[in-house]
Amino acid sequence: MKRLLLALPLVALSLTDALATGQQSGPAPLNTLPRYGGAAKSKALRKLDQEFIAQSLKQYRQNRRAASESSVSEGWSHFYASDLTTSIKRFNQAWLLDSTNANVYYGFSACLTEQGEAAAAHRYFQLAQRYDVQNQGANKYYERLTLYYQSRKQTASRSAGAV
């Protein structure tokens, strides 16, 4: 009993620390993993996907590519804001709409690079290349990353100058 009483504060402290830092135990939610982690989805999630696709196609007059590109743009906006979780969610939505859109895979690659997942980032870059035979998306990808890293460098310089 004494051991249990001694252990309870440690467990509570660990739980409080995890909640305060936003860390969670267990697997990440599927929508925060590129291509939903390749996992099988429940019937309810598949239904939500179909509703999202139908709504997007209605908004973009049945043009899957346009709808996908809109989600890609949103993904990059969140990437620039360093919100990688939401960025991946938007790239996942773009992937649902058009799995052959190279820009989706470039987005996944950028997010994974920022998360320190170099090998996975490289795999997604290679997937993007399969759909981007003229390298138009690759050029845009490098432009986006250049702007992102320049912005981060300027922000860091300003922060260092303020100290």
**pLDDT value of residue 22:** 44
**pLDDT value of residue 56:** 97
User: Tell me, which fold does domain 40-157 have in CATH?
Assistant: 1.25.40
**pLDDT value of residue 13:** 37
Q: How many CB atoms lie within 10 A of CB 23?
A: 8
**pLDDT value of residue 82:** 94
Interatomic CA distance for residues 25 and 9, integer angstroms: 19
**pLDDT value of residue 57:** 97
**pLDDT value of residue 108:** 98
Full pLDDT tens readout for the chain, 163 residues: 444 344 434 333 333 343 333 445 678 999 999 999 999 999 999 999 999 999 999 999 999 999 999 999 999 999 999 999 999 999 999 999 999 999 999 999 999 999 999 999 999 999 999 999 999 999 999 999 998 888 888 888 888 877 6
**pLDDT value of residue 43:** 97
**pLDDT value of residue 154:** 86
Both tokens of 156, joined, read: 């860091």
Report the candidate in 40, 100, 52, 101 with the shortest Cα–Cα distance to residue 76: 101
DSSP state of 29: P
